């Protein structure tokens, strides 16, 4: 479960992490009224769960009523990387002198939570990790004991944070870890954590992702789930209705498979062969036509998708049953809107390949061939 920025900031503020004055608005007049109450300058920020909002035009800094009205009108209702913007967060602008990054996540390789601090805040932290990994100080935490104060101080020191704000940054990191642990978090981060001329630190952004399976013991966050879902991505909402494991990405090659490992393998191969994955979609077990049709409907509904690759492994569910399901599903469409490539393996895969209607799909014998063909189709459309 992903909290919106305004929800995460509410959680952080309640725990004592400083955040700017802010109000949520769902229309232009409400945004202007909020800006007037907070006082200019203010930032008007699209409330969608996607990175890179600023570069995509989803965050604007304004100095007066006219600019606020113009910015709110431009942002509300816009399509931001496939997400429809229904609300904006209006918050007081921060006069900052430095931008830091602090975050908590699970290092699965080490089997421990890891706290991270960097002086390269305000930019994509994944890019920093790839281009300059030494710029991110890391401190692993034993979950049996939690984060010790000395560990927070060490991470801040190793990152090279200005000693004038080191104590405050350490306190923020400690609080962030406590929230991550107490709220059953999967990720918690502040990027940027801004430093002002008065040596104060303020969380200018907030990310909080929570383990959905733990919501039964997080009643306050469970109440936020419906609100977050109602303003989230339409396709991800549809995936919840269909019972699919689905993550929307930014590429143009749609991926459908049965089993998370199989889908991840396909996703990696799309990237390996020069394509860009559009999604992660695991249909789970079963091959009934309506389930396959729902999966296709989801992927076809993504405007970014230019081709689709099916990677199905028949286990208990036989390959011939899967093939029948694919045929029946595709026959429900008057016109196949995107080229579909299918690869079957496992139980009765040969029978399944013979059953597939090659007027509706392209059939490939190997996963590598299927992925390459799907990537080629996507590239042809893009050209």
Percent of the chain at pLDDT exceeding 70: 96
Residue 119 has a pLDDT of: 97
In a domain, 70, yes or no: yes
* Among 58, 77, 92, residue at a domain's last position: 92
Please identify, among 92, 109, 144, the residue that sits at the C-terminal boundary of a domain: 92
Residue 145 included in any domain: yes
The CATH number of the domain holding residue 341 is: 3.40.50.261
**Domain termination residue (choose one: 39, 70, 92):** 92
Regarding whether 374 and 256 lie in a shared domain, the answer is yes
Residue 91: closest CA among 230, 179, 206, 252: 206
Instruction: Specify the pLDDT at position 18.
Output: 97
Number of domains in the chain: 3
pTM over 0.85: no
User: Could you list the active site residues?
Assistant: 101, 189
At 188 the pLDDT is: 97
247 and 312 share a domain? yes
User: Is residue 248 marked as binding?
Assistant: no
User: What pLDDT sits at residue 313?
Assistant: 87
Which pLDDT score is estimated for 227?
A: 64
Q: Is 94 annotated as a binding residue?
A: yes
CA dihedral (166, 146, 186, 55) in degrees, to 10, reads 0
Instruction: Give me the chain's average pLDDT, please.
Output: 91
- Residue 270 counted as an annotated binding residue: no
Cα gap 129→164, rounded to integer Å:
26
Residue 161's pLDDT is 97
Residue 350, marked binder = no
pLDDT of residue 229: 56
- Can you give the CATH number for the domain in which 121 is found? 3.30.470.20
Domain residues for 49?
21-92
Residues with pLDDT less than 70, the chain? 226-233, 285-289, 317, 382-383
Residues 206 and 291 reside in one and the same domain? no
What is the pLDDT, as a whole number, of residue 131? Answer: 92
Residue 324's pLDDT is: 87
Q: Give pLDDT, residue 331.
A: 87
Q: What is the pLDDT of residue 287?
A: 57
pLDDT value, residue 254:
96
């Amino acid at each position: 479960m992903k909290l919106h920025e305004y929800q995460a900031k509410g959680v952080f503020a309640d725990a004592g992490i400083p955040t700017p004055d802010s109000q949520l608005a769902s229309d232009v007049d409400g945004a202007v009224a909020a800006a007037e109450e907070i006082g200019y300058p203010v930032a008007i920020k699209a409330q969608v769960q996607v990175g890179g909002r600023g570069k995509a035009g989803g965050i604007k800094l304004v100095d007066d009523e006219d600019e606020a009205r113009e910015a709110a009108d431009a942002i509300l209702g816009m399509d931001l990387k496939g997400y429809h913007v229904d609300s904006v967060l209006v918050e007081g602008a921060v006069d900052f002198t430095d931008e830091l990054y602090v975050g908590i996540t699970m290092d699965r390789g080490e089997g421990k939570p890891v706290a991270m601090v960097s002086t390269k805040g305000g930019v994509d932290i994944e890019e920093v990790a790839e281009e300059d990994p030494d710029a991110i100080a890391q401190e692993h935490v034993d979950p049996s004991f939690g984060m010790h104060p000395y560990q927070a101080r060490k991470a801040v020191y190793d990152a090279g944070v200005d000693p004038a704000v080191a104590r405050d940054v350490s306190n923020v990191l400690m609080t962030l870890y406590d929230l991550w642990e107490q709220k059953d978090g999967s990720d918690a981060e502040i990027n940027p954590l801004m430093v002002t001329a008065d040596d104060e630190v303020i969380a200018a952004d907030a990310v909080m992702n929570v383990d959905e399976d733990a919501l039964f013991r997080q009643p306050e966050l469970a109440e936020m789930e419906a609100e977050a879902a109602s303003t989230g991505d339409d396709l991800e909402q549809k995936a919840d209705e269909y019972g699919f494991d689905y993550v929307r990405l930014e590429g143009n090659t749609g991926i459908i498979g049965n089993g998370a490992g199989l889908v991840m393998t396909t996703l990696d191969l799309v990237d390996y062969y020069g394509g860009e994955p559009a999604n992660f979609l695991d249909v789970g077990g079963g091959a009934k036509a309506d389930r396959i049709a729902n999966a296709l409907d989801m992927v076809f509904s993504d405007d970014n998708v230019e081709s689709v690759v099916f990677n199905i492994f028949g286990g208990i569910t036989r390959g011939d049953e899967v093939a029948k399901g694919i045929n029946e599903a595709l026959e429900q469409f008057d016109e196949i809107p995107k080229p579909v490539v299918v690869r079957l393996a496992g139980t009765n895969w040969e029978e399944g390949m013979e059953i597939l209607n090659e007027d509706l799909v392209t059939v490939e014998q190997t996963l590598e061939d299927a992925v390459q063909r799907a990537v080629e189709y996507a590239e042809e459309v893009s050209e």
